[in-house]
């Protein structure tokens, strides 16, 4: 089920992740412990630690919680360079769990900088708020359409912490306390997806502790997270256009959108039940495809380039009645635990910080689209209808004007944080630059060109001086047109 959450919600998601680092900790602060350790997917030793912080910063002597973090130490142990802290997406992704993926993307950065990965409170080993009752869900036979508010309440009942403190501003306080505990005067921030929101709040709260910021796929404070209908449709529209421009794709799928709309009508009438060989077990199994499952599976593919290439073929085959390609995509989405969203934290934050600010007519306008319809918002309504809310410190969610060098990056094809969002944030920041990468989707640093820009920016700290010529060489989007591959 958790994978389902990934596809249903958010800004969260998907592919690569990144991180930041800091300098070697002086374990002087008594509430911090740090040691050499191994983390999943990384062969060499890294540093793992816990920082004890108050659950409620206004009552520092009351309950505490341990914030889990991982430091990927720089190869260069000179400590010359400012460490970079990686702020994960979601909300609800645990940065420390994604260490290996982050390292793969940020290997250049890590050569000279420590990268600090913190499990935001409510994720991973920092009291991860996972909805365990969502897990006994079969990817193929079950559908989420019949999920009820009771499921949400069952999830809530599992938590025995004061959820009102599991918010963005307290998470930032944790991050900054860790920065301080590690004796870093000023830190570099990388935020991806919801991590950009966190970074922006950080910039409002502790501008004096930040050296530079990279915002990748921005969720501006001015825009509420959760309205994914129009942005998803825009991304789908660009996919259609790119398929038309690509000769092979155009030839193979000349009526792609018609086929997709017909498919939607087919599942709207009644969920499709196809008997297929179970993708993992090999035994015959019933593959039930509801509108939700169809849209959420396809929408998830729009987040990353490797996923997008399958979309035309999968739509076309499904239209023809072959649901195996779709089953293959579902199977793939059901793997890898590292980027999973902690649904409890996701709902906890969004239901207080964003959902209440969205007006009814906005939801309606967002649902009026030719791709995801209202699928993305359905679960917000379900969850936020019953989720307890807390008072948000709104003063930290104002447009950010801190004079900190900031590099903003957007993927042109992004289904949740389109380039126009980056423009909004770029407008209020005094020392920023917005770079749009043309053949990229959500989380731009997964492309080698973009990571070079980030590395250069972190070193020079001058967004205007970045040499972005490598962007020109990025090729057009390509698609799979045949079951055995494309030439």
Partner 1 sequence: MIQFNALFSKEIKEAIRDKRALMAAFTMAFLAPVMIFVMSKMAIKEAVETPPAYVNISGGEYAPALMKHLADDNVFPMSEVEDADKVMWEKRNIEVFIPADFEESLLAGTSINVVLRADYGEKAHQSIIRRVRDSVYSYSRQIGYQRIMMRGIDVKLLRPINLAEQDTQKPSSNATFISLMLSIYLLFGAFFSGLSVAIDTSAGERERNVLEILLCQPVSTMKVVLAKLFAATTIALIGVVLTLILSTIAVGFVDLSQLGLTFNLDMKTAISLLILLIPICFFASALQLFFAFNAKTFKEAQSLVSIIIMLPGMIPFALSMMNDRPQWLDWAPISGQYLIMEDLFKGDPVGFGVLLVTGAFTVLMTVILVKVMAERLKSEKVVLALS
* Residues that bind partner 1 in the complex, under the rule CB under 8 A: 36, 38, 40-41, 43-47, 73-78, 80, 108, 110-112, 276-277, 279-280, 310, 313-314, 317, 323-329, 331-332, 334-335, 475, 480, 482-487
Q: Which is nearer to partner 1, 27 or 41 (CB)?
A: 41
Return the H-helix or E-strand segment holding 150.
Answer: helix 149-157
Q: Which is nearer to partner 1, 56 or 486 (CB)?
A: 486
Shortest Å, Cβ 259 to partner 1:
16
Bond into 91 cis (ω within 30): yes
Q: End-to-end alpha-carbon separation of the chain, Å?
A: 36
Q: Give the whole-angstrom CA distance, residue 335 versus residue 392.
A: 35
Nearer to partner 1, 271 or 328 (CB): 328
Please report how close the Cβ of residue 184 comes to partner 1 at its closest, in angstroms: 18
DSSP H or E run through 258: helix 256-269
CB closer to partner 1 out of 391 and 475: 475
For partner 1, the closer of residues 41 and 399 by Cβ is 41
Q: Which is nearer to partner 1, 287 or 355 (CB)?
A: 287
Closest contact distance (angstroms) between CB of 40 and partner 1 is 7
The residues, ordered by sequence, that sit 6+ positions from 422 with a Cβ below 8 Å of its Cβ are 215, 218, 408, 409, 410, 434, 436
Tokens of 148: 């009820």
Question: Least distance (Å) from partner 1 to the CB of residue 342?
Answer: 23
Neighbour-count burial of 380, counting CB atoms closer than 10 A to its CB (0-12 exposed, 13-18 middle, 19+ buried): buried
Least Å distance, CB 254 to partner 1, is 19
The residue (of 78 and 464) whose beta carbon lies closer to partner 1 is: 78
Whole-angstrom distance, CA of residue 191 vs CA of residue 203: 11
Q: List the Cα angle 476/434/197 in 5-degree steps.
A: 110
CB 442 within 8 A of CB 13: yes
CB 487 to partner 1: min, Å = 5
Q: How far is the CB of 221 from partner 1 (least distance, A)?
A: 35
Give the closest residue to 422 by CA, choosing from 170, 242, 213. 213
Q: Which is nearer to partner 1, 16 or 334 (CB)?
A: 334
Q: Confirm if 201 and 169 have CB atoms less than 8 A apart.
A: yes
In the three-class reduction of DSSP (H, G, I as helix; E, B as strand; rest coil), residue 295 is classed as: helix
Q: At closest approach, how far in Å is the CB of 117 from partner 1?
A: 15
């Amino acid at each position: 089920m958790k994978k389902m959450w990934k596809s249903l919600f958010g800004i969260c998601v998907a592919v690569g992740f990144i991180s930041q680092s800091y300098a070697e900790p002086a374990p002087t602060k008594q509430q911090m412990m740090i040691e050499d350790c191994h983390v999943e997917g990384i062969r060499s030793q890294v540093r793992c630690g816990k920082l004890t912080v108050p659950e409620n910063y206004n009552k520092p002597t009351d309950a505490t919680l341990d914030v889990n973090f991982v430091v990927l130490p720089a190869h260069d142990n000179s400590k010359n360079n400012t460490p970079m802290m990686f702020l994960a997406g979601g909300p609800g992704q645990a940065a420390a769990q994604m260490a290996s993926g982050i390292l793969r993307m940020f290997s250049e950065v890590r050569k000279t900088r420590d990268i600090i990965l913190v499990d935001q409170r409510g994720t991973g080993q920092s009291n991860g708020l996972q909805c365990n009752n969502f897990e006994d869900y079969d990817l193929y036979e079950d559908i989420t359409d019949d999920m009820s508010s009771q499921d949400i309440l069952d999830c809530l009942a599992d938590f025995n912490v004061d959820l009102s403190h599991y918010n963005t501003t307290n998470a930032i306080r944790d991050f900054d306390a860790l920065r301080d505990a590690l004796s870093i005067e000023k830190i570099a921030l990388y935020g991806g997806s919801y991590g950009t929101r966190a970074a922006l709040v950080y910039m409002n709260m502790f501008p004096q502790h930040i050296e530079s910021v990279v915002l990748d796929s921005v969720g501006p404070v001015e825009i509420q997270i959760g309205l994914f209908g129009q942005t998803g449709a825009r991304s789908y529209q660009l996919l259609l256009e790119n398929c038309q421009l690509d000769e092979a794709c155009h030839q193979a799928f000349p009526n792609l959108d018609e086929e997709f709309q017909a498919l939607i009508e087919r599942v709207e009438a009644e969920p499709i039940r196809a008997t297929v060989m179970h993708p993992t077990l090999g035994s015959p199994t019933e593959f039930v495809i509801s509108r939700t499952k169809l849209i959420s599976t396809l929408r998830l593919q729009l987040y990353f380039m490797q996923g997008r290439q399958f979309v035309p073929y999968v739509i076309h085959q499904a239209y023809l009645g072959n649901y195996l390609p779709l089953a293959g995509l579902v199977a793939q989405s059901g793997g890898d635990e590292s980027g999973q969203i902690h649904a409890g934290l996701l709902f906890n934050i969004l239901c207080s910080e964003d959902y209440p600010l969205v007006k009814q007519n906005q939801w309606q306008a967002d649902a009026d689209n030719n791709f995801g319809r209202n699928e993305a918002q359905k679960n917000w309504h379900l969850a936020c209808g019953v989720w307890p809310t807390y008072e948000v410190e709104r003063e930290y969610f104002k447009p950010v004007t801190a004079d900190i060098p900031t590099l903003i990056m957007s993927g042109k094809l992004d289904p949740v944080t389109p380039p126009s969002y980056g423009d909004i944030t770029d407008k209020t920041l005094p020392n920023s630059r917005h770079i749009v990468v043309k053949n990229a989707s959500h989380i731009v640093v997964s492309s080698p060109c973009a990571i070079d820009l980030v590395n250069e920016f972190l070193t020079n700290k001058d967004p205007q001086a970045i040499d972005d010529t490598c962007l020109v060489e990025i090729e057009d989007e390509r698609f799979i047109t045949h079951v055995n591959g494309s030439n």
